[in-house]
Structure 1
Amino acid sequence: MTIPAVTPTSPAAVRPLRADAQRNRDKLIEVATTAFTDLGVDVALEEIARRADVGIGTLYRHFPTREALVLAVYRKQIEGLETAARELPLTHGPSDALRLWMRGFVEYGAVKRGLVVLLKSMMDTETNLFVDARAILLDSAGSLMTKAAEAGEIRPDFQPGDVIRALGGICMATDRPDAGASAIALVDLVFDGLRYGAPARS
């Protein structure tokens, strides 16, 4: 499943970007991710352009509205979790890959919290985004949980939706800027619950 293009009329949806334009777009998304998380979605777009070391005109060429930039940041986070679910098992054992992915979800949640108000206001016109995002998260968690369960490293009686809901609750409960360590500790607590009673640990 792929995530929809940024907007139907976006230049990026019509033709590939030149290398320099792609670098600018990627930098803007990277900077906006940090700015939205730290300062909220009301941060001045001029500030984002300044931090990305581009002109405001360049920002508007890639993202004609604040909403377009918000959506690009949100999609980037989902894509990152989808990619991590594929790549982590290549370098880590099944349960370690799942644990690292769960920690990554909390980091994504920190970004989502900064965007949630504006995202809610956009749901009427971007419903596919949220449907696709949920499906990707469930598929990603499910693939990692299946591998870990087959290896006997976690219990097989939990569903991907259970883990996503637990992680979402952690994100909502640790919404202070200084709560990162608490969030990770809670993720590890949930992960320990998945391992409790697993065949390989019995």
Structure 2
Amino acid sequence: MSADAEPSMRAIASEAGVGIATLYRHFPTRESLVDAVYQDQVVRLTTGARELLGQHPPAAAMRRWMDLFGDWIAAKNGMLDTLLAMIESGEITHARTRTELLTAITTILDAGRAAGDLRSDVTAEDIAASLIGIFTVAPRSGRGDQAGRLLNLLMDGLRPAR
């Protein structure tokens, strides 16, 4: 996606229902806005894992968390060029985000193992790689139905043999 394809600050302000001056007062640069959105999404994923476990059995929590991950990937696509530039410059630490996401997956995976809902031989890295693959071939914005079917297939593979 080129920078021209990323939404303008004016379009973002309009979508948010605020004036451009208000947007710039809170986020003086595109990078500051992208960083805030990115960090908010990472927090939603990490806290979402614990919240989902509090509301659902581990396997159901994992499947719902996969949907949150898909939403995160979709949100990143609208700001991809800016994000890549920020990662390259060191403004966003990709390794820290990776660790936070793997920790969120591990939280659910460990609960699922303890409950007997999820296989014990699968790692958080396996799940993360699978999710990236799924959302690469079936992005949420274009083929949401296919992504959902693929996520359900992944969940079937994560359940222990009975």
Task: Compute the TM-score of the two structures, normalised by the length of structure 2.
Answer: 0.90
Quote the offset at 1:124 in angstroms.
2.8
Aligned pair count reads 159
Separation in structure 1 between the aligned mates of residue 53 and residue 123 of structure 2, nearest angstrom = 19
Q: Identity of counterpart residues, as a percentage?
A: 38
Q: Which residue of 2 aligns with 1:187?
A: 151
Q: Which amino acid aligns with 1:47?
A: A
Greater relative contact order structure (CA < 8 Å, 6+ sep): 2
1:117 equivalenced with 2:81 (yes/no): yes
Q: Which amino acid aligns with 2:149?
A: A
Q: Which amino acid aligns with 2:134?
A: I
Say if 2:35 and 2:92, in contact at 8 Å, map to a contact too.
Answer: no
Say if 1:85 and 1:141, in contact at 8 Å, map to a contact too.
Answer: yes
Quote the offset at 1:116 in angstroms.
2.3
Say if 1:98 and 1:144, in contact at 8 Å, map to a contact too.
Answer: yes
Greater shift in the superposed pair: 170-179 or 42-51: 170-179
Task: Compute the TM-score of the two structures, normalised by the length of structure 1.
Answer: 0.73
Which of residues 62, 84, 99 in structure 1 aligns to 2:48?
A: 84
More helix by share: 2
- Per-residue CA deviation, residues 46-65 of structure 1 (Å, 9 max, x unaligned), is 12212222221111111111
Q: Which has more radius of gyration?
A: 1
Quote the offset at 1:41 in angstroms.
5.7
The runs of 5 or more residues in structure 2 that have no matched partner are none
Q: Which amino acid aligns with 1:79?
A: V
**Structure 1 moving runs of 4+ over 3 Å:** none
Q: Which residue of 2 aligns with 1:66?
A: 30
1:127–1:44 distance in 2 versus 1, CA, 3 Å: closer
1:176–1:92 distance in 2 versus 1, CA, 3 Å: closer
Quote the offset at 1:195 in angstroms.
0.7
User: Counterparts of 1:17-56 in structure 2 under 5 Å?
Assistant: 42-56=6-20
